[in-house]
Structure 1
């Protein structure tokens, strides 16, 4: 297959062509559409997963089987795109009992658990202040006006963070969560009740490095606004990058695109630490796995169902080839073929970019770093480059490989969050910066029409 890429000089023109029909001359949305601005791909039940830099959670969740009990969580997240209205998706995908939420609010984070005064707004569900989500279900909120985003193109909004507060009525039971947020969020004590309407931090003494129940945020945006998704495992999720630093490779890509295009594109992170393409064969509340459901099992919820998706960058395979996965090269190649076919059937016109798998040779992780894994990795990378399955290739392998050792470059190994020596599997901030900088910007944008 011939891969057509666009020079960076044509990028603004291509994007203008893609979204121009939805704009007035003044640049305000006309016939705006929803575009997903943030995702936190769900797994569960808590505490099964791979969090990073997690504080002691026993004070807020003393009994994982009961989960959150009559308490408020204030979840902090960074939208990739801003709009005058937002809507929120809450998930009980891996719960075993109905989840009731009320007192849901969204506001602009000031610092810690404190909100910028006057920005906090209540969230409704079909006009009601509460919602009950059945086990395995999800619920979108009604649109909510964001008073601080009346000028969504303002550069002063770039990098700002939302605080989504939610009160769990009663006991949630097993909690659907995203373990590795690499972002500090906040919680009241169990039994403290509803405090989402408060702007201050006094009711939120506890912290967490994970997200719970919330798994997507949409923003109202001009029709055709492109949404780009990084889909994969811990090396997309950001293990060993900087806690609260927003320097995973999708973050780097987002900032590069924002520098050229402003608030006209979204880049999402749909990684889950430990995720595999084809494993595990089964996943559920009674049979969980730290890496979450397989990429194929979660693709509909975490990619296809989202709003405005135009491009998917798929980086995965190293966990399949680990001693935890033990998958064959053929199984992963066939899994990728099936996944790409599903993406193209579910999102007509989507661009699917294959990312070459980064090296792990010599890793200190017991499950990784062995020669057989590296041989399979090289075989998968050859398939990604040469099969013609993908519309383009992101060369993460070449950006991070030390040819002298066959492993990661030395400067990419020390852990940026813990300050430890690193595991020779997960790139640090320097590695993610190199990966995000290696992506051809033209290749990720939608094709001309």
Structure 2
């Protein structure tokens, strides 16, 4: 009861009695929904990976990966989750460290901390499994003012002992991370960047970061496809729509809300029917197949914002509106059953009309009719507690497609594909989210 009282007091924006300490619990601050095995996926702005990973079947080999990530919520104590979900052999990790990124592959001197697993420096994760680290204290996080680190990034280093085999990954990080050469050994304790000549625009093996936070801290999961994952946003710019919304929450409420991105480029609501290392699909597992790992097993989830469906109607998916609606109802039912009180927010699907110039998987009038029918269901189907109208925020009424200023690709500087909004589009989407719809009552 004492912890519940503290959480209620904090949620109401009130102060605890003098000398009282709020109950604390884990809250997921960052996540990367996994897929694979590498190289099956849809990365953006990916450097040539053949020098870092010469043979995908052998995977990483006695080398260290330094993965860069930006927490949405800061705390003095963290833990990490590593995944071998789509591996076919045991994954042996050691020499894991976490520090504050200085720039590139360098970490701030004195910030790099060792990470252990049940008190040991190494862990072996079976195929299909995952493992949480022990809690790690971060001495560089200011006492009582963790929010001053907002926008800074962590560098998580991990050594793959031996060969990993097929690698579980998140293809579209839109964040540069770093890799040492095969056979270079465990160098995660090094603060400098000299040992990490290769870069990658993907995350491997690491799929969640928790921070210790006051009990009841809101954790918002943005769930969806490439338009949540951030295709055509700015590489290393952190300007996907969930990033924009997260910064708005920080500006208003400070270091009190986490916004976690659970998008996968190419993901679908209703398909594929099967997924695994022997049956990979670039878009990752269907929404219902990945719900346990990517939402339900995260810590402290209070709100779920779902933007998805456009890929179901592509020529690759070719699903009926009814099939997508049924899958959405099923996922919503599972969420409410497992997380009573969760806030479910539906987001209308943005237009892809005209994408591909009539030769690709998207862009046709019959697909747009399905999209508009799904949006009617999202708005009026009674599945969601609230609705965010991303369609209205990005639609050009004159053409029925994306607004022209939202088309040019801001990641590579190309012409854009008329499917993915660019930075201007994601900014409009992030600004269109009503905080009260997602985290009602927070003050």
- Please give the root-mean-square deviation of Cα atoms over the aligned residues, in Å: 1.6
1:242 aligns with 2:195: no
TM-score (normalised: structure 2): 0.96
Displacement after TM superposition at 1:388 (Å) = 1.4
1:417 to 392, 411, 419: 411
Does structure 2 retain, via aligned residues, the 8 Å contact 1:99–1:135? Answer: yes
1:298 to 283, 290, 298: 290
TM-score (normalised: structure 1): 0.94
Aligned twin of 2:425: 431
Displacement after TM superposition at 1:151 (Å) = 2.8
Instruction: Tell me the secondary structure at the aligned position of residue 219 of structure 1.
Output: strand
Displacement after TM superposition at 1:31 (Å) = 2.5
Aligned twin of 1:3: none
In 2, distance between residues paired with 1:127 and 1:17? 33
1:230 aligns with 2:215: no
Q: Which runs of 4+ in 1 moved over 2 A?
A: 14-17, 19-26, 28-31, 150-156
Extract unaligned runs of 5+ from structure 1. Answer: 1-13
2:256 to 244, 251, 264: 264
Displacement after TM superposition at 1:156 (Å) = 2.8
> Per-residue displacement from partner, 1:275-327 (whole Å, max 9, x unpaired)?
00010000000000000000110011100111111100000000000001010
> Per-residue displacement from partner, 1:151-190 (whole Å, max 9, x unpaired)?
3534430100000000000000000000000000000000
1:18 to 11, 19, 34: 11
In 2, distance between residues paired with 1:167 and 1:310? 34
1:201 to 184, 193, 197: 193
Structure 1 residues 186 and 25 mapped into 2: Cα distance closer, same or farther (>3 Å)? farther
1:396 aligns with 2:402: no
> Per-residue displacement from partner, 1:182-235 (whole Å, max 9, x unpaired)?
000000000000000010000001000000000000000001000001000000
Displacement after TM superposition at 1:150 (Å) = 3.3
- In the TM superposition, 1:15-414 aligns within 5 A as 17-18=10-11, 25=18, 30-151=22-143, 153-364=145-356, 366-414=360-408
Aligned twin of 1:9: none
Aligned twin of 1:4: none
Displacement after TM superposition at 1:389 (Å) = 1.1
Does structure 2 retain, via aligned residues, the 8 Å contact 1:355–1:394? Answer: yes
Displacement after TM superposition at 1:427 (Å) = 0.1
Aligned twin of 2:4: none
Count of residues in Structure 1 that have an aligned counterpart in Structure 2 = 434
Extract unaligned runs of 5+ from structure 2. Answer: 1-6
Displacement after TM superposition at 1:20 (Å) = 6.3
Structure 1 residues 250 and 71 mapped into 2: Cα distance closer, same or farther (>3 Å)? same
Instruction: Tell me the secondary structure at the aligned position of residue 423 of structure 1.
Output: coil
Aligned twin of 1:10: none
> Per-residue displacement from partner, 1:396-415 (whole Å, max 9, x unpaired)?
00000001000000000000
In 1, distance between residues paired with 2:414 and 2:256? 38
In 1, distance between residues paired with 2:12 and 2:36? 37
Does structure 1 retain, via aligned residues, the 8 Å contact 2:76–2:146? Answer: no
